[in-house]
Amino acid sequence: MVGVGAILNPELGRKRVLEWGLDFTNIADTGEVWGKFGVINQPAFAVVTSGGNVLTHMGHLDLKGIFSLIEKAKYVS
């Protein structure tokens, strides 16, 4: 899992991730990564499926919603 935030301070993104008790790489993006995944605003979540497709959710998700999106991605080829 990689967090990609449009923020100037990557440490702020990492702080948000740690608030949930998770630990994964979080990078700051100037738009290039977002563009490849069709993300137009933040917050947004994109999951790459095992078949290489992208399942994207625009808007806020709580932790339960994030895990639900990941679960849903298991069934998208």
33 CB-near residues (< 8 Å, 6+ apart):
4, 27
The Cβ of residue 4 has, within 10 Å, a number of other Cβ atoms equal to: 20
Among candidates 53, 61, 52, 7, which has minimal Cα distance to 29?
7
Q: Is the pTM of this model over 0.75?
A: no
- pLDDT band of residue 22 (cuts 50, 70, 90) is confident
Report the pLDDT value the prediction gives residue 68, as an integer from 0 to 100. 94
Q: What is the mean pLDDT of residues 11-39?
A: 77
Q: How many domains does the structure of the chain reveal?
A: 1
For residue 20, the enclosing domain spans: 2-73
